[in-house]
Each structure stands twice: as structure tokens, then as C-alpha cells.
Amino acid sequence: MAEPDLAQLAATSRSGVAVLIPCFNEEASIEKVVSDFRAALPGADVYVYDNNSTDHTAELARAAGAIVKTETRQGKGNVVRRMFADVDAEIYVMADGDDTYDAACAGALVRKLIEDQLDMVTGTRVTDWDSYRPGHRFGNVLLTTIVRVVFGPHATDMLSGYRVFSRRFVKSFPLLSGGFEIETELTVHALEMRMPLGEVKTQYKDRSEGSFSKLSTFKDGFKILGLIGRLVKEERPLQFFSGIAGLLFLLAIGIATPIVLTYYETGLVPRFPTAILATGLVVVSFLSLACGLILDTVTRGRREAKRIAYLGQKAPAAALLGVLGS
């Protein structure tokens, strides 16, 4: 297959490439980030969405040639939701404004999306992790492992913020999170919809001098863990509520065992409050299982509706035929 002309592809407005950069106080690096992406994808529209910055991020991004817009709801998820709603393109490149991602790799990510007809390509980070906070390294491994076990083994760097999306991914994605949980939600959505995914290894750099991370290891880590729990409940309700039902049933058996032993030893049924508790736990256990069965049917209907919305958009290859003239 002939290699697509990325300059030609990016040159058109509706049918081109949009680079999306959510920003909060990144004046130390935003000019370089915008310039690097404009060089890597000539003609692409570079959007910087300022999230209540108190420095000169917006002015510097505009001076570097970016289209600058504002989202007043604080949090990366809120910014990405706004970008996905506002920007109209065929291919979307999303990266952070802290200059930690290699803009020169953007062409490789876009090329893989087109040639392999994918819906999301993740830039998996390659770096000397020893120089990063242990909490960040451990959290990334832990959360990625949980998602791989529950939703599928097709993600190796779930928290990477460097991604390329097809139009049909962006316009069918019901983004709900408001903060740094956004990367987790993107990954789980793609896995649940069984979209074709890909990964490209990219260099992950240190932040520019004067730039500081807004990610809190524990606070945001627990938020992401909580989101994974909610997504398991919403996307895997039968397994989630069946697990609760099993635990309650085992607990009821543990509580009821002494009562049964007493009956066999004395022939009497003791009127212990624990007997009532054990009976109640069994009832709640079966109610939990029933909830799982009902919600599993509801989830299937929601998944079918999202699938229809997804199929309502053109596939990457079909959408690019007019742009590439082939």
C-alpha cells in the first residue's frame, strides 16, 4: 500500500488531521510543542484548549500558530470532552502540552492508523523509568494490569496521553470522566467496543525546565482505580454482581455453619440472631445475582447503541479515499 501523503492529508479542514493539546499552565513548553507538531504534520490544525491557566500559556500557543480555545471546567477529562465535541476532522492526534511526548513520531502513529485501518493508536512510552517517581511507575503497572485482566490484554501503557484516533472513535465516545481518568476510559471504551487498536513505541522525555506535573500520584491514582471499579460494574455487571453474590453466600455459610453443627449435636435449633443474619445474607446474595442478570441485559442494549453510533461514521480508510485521491 502506498504511503499516504501526510502533508496533503492534513491540508484539508474537514477531512484532515487535528492535533489536540489540553493545557493548564504550560508556558514553559507550549510554544515548542505547537511548533514541533506543526513541523511533524504540516498543514494540520493544531488546537490548544486552555483550562484556566494563570500564566501565559494561551498567548504563547497562539503566537506559535495554534488555534486557542478555552474550557472553564477544570480537569483534563472535561477539556478532552470539549475538544471531541468541537473539533471536526478525520484523524485526531492527542498529546499533552508539557513536551514529554515526541512530536516527530506523530506521522508514524497517523500512518499506522491509516494503513492498518485502526480506530486508536497509542504511543507507548519508552524511557528511563528509574528517573520517575516510584508511585507513578507502580500505579501505571498496577492499573494497566487490572484493565488487561478484566477487559482484555490489548493495552500495554494504559495511561499514555499520546494517542491518535479515527473520527468514528471520537464521535461515538460517550466520555464521562472529568480528570486524569480520561486515558483509562479511552482504553476501556475501545476494548469493550472491540475496536481495532494499535501501538507505536515513542520516546518519553523529561519535562521542560519550569514545567511541573499536575498529576497527584495517590489522589489521581485512587480516582483512576475508582473509575475502573465503576467501569467493571457498568460494563461487566453480571461478573461484578455475581462476585458480590458469591462473597455474601460464602459469608452466610460461614455464619450458618455453627448453627448447623449445634443442631446435629443437640437436636435443637438455636434461636441465635446469627441465624437471621445468615438467612438475610442468602436473600441479599440472590438479589445481587438477579441485579447482575438484569443489568447485563441493559448493558448489552447500551453496547449495541454505541456500536450503531460507531458504525454511523466512516471507517478511516473510506474517509481518506477522497483526501488521498485514490
Q: Are residues 108 and 140 in the same domain?
A: yes
End of a domain among 217, 234, 251?
234
The count of structural domains within the chain is: 2
3-state SS assignment for residue 95: coil
Residue 101: domain span: 6-234
Q: What are the residue ranges of helices labelled H in 130-181? A: 134-151, 167-170
Q: Are residues 227 and 249 in the same domain?
A: no
Residue 322 lies in a domain: no
pLDDT at 323: 37
Residue 320 lies in a domain: no
Q: Are residues 259 and 227 in the same domain?
A: no
Each residue's pLDDT tens digit, 136-192 = 566 667 777 777 777 777 778 878 889 999 999 999 888 777 666 788 888 888 888
Q: Are residues 112 and 252 in the same domain?
A: no
Inter-residue contact 223 to 40 (CB < 8 Å): no
Each residue's pLDDT tens digit, 228-277 = 777 788 878 888 899 999 999 999 898 888 777 776 777 666 666 777 88
Q: Are residues 115 and 252 in the same domain?
A: no
Among 188, 199, 189, smallest CA distance to 164 is for 199
End of a domain among 234, 264, 293?
234
Residue 323 lies in a domain: no
Q: Give me 122's grid cell.
A: 497509542
Inter-residue contact 223 to 139 (CB < 8 Å): no
Please determine, for residue 130, whether its predicted confidence score (pLDDT) is greater than 60.
no
pLDDT at 133: 56
Residue 288 lies in a domain: yes
Residue at 321: amino acid letter:
L
Q: Which range has highest mean pLDDT (30-34, 255-259, 297-301, 312-316)? A: 30-34
Q: Are residues 241 and 221 in the same domain?
A: no
Among 133, 141, 137, 169, smallest CA distance to 315 is for 169
Residue 41 lies in a domain: yes
Nearest-angstrom CA–CA distance, 307 and 321: 23
Q: Are residues 203 and 275 in the same domain?
A: no
Q: Give the number of C-alpha atoms closer than 13 A to the C-alpha of residue 308, restricted to the C-beta side.
A: 6
Inter-residue contact 153 to 79 (CB < 8 Å): no
β-pair partners for 17: 91
Each residue's pLDDT tens digit, 186-217 = 888 888 888 999 999 998 887 666 555 556 55
Q: Are residues 183 and 39 in the same domain?
A: yes
- Residue 257 CB contacts under 8 Å (≥ 6 apart), including other chains: none
Q: Are residues 72 and 144 in the same domain?
A: yes
Please determine, for residue 32, whether its predicted confidence score (pLDDT) is greater than 50.
yes
Residue 326 lies in a domain: no
pLDDT mean over 20-45: 92
Q: Give me 321's grid cell.
A: 479515499
Nearest-angstrom CA–CA distance, 191 and 201: 20
The CATH number covering residue 183 comes to 3.90.550.10
The pTM assigned to this predicted structure is 0.75
Q: Are residues 81 and 167 in the same domain?
A: yes
End of a domain among 234, 259, 288?
234
pLDDT at 134: 57
Q: Are residues 182 and 300 in the same domain?
A: no
Categorize the per-residue pLDDT at 118 as very low, low, confident or very high, splitting at 50, 70 and 90: very high
Given 3-state DSSP classes, what are the helix, strand and coil percentages for the chain, each rounded to the nearest 5?
Answer: 55, 15, 30
Q: Are residues 123 and 217 in the same domain?
A: yes
Categorize the per-residue pLDDT at 39 as very low, low, confident or very high, splitting at 50, 70 and 90: very high
Residue 113 lies in a domain: yes
pLDDT at 48: 96
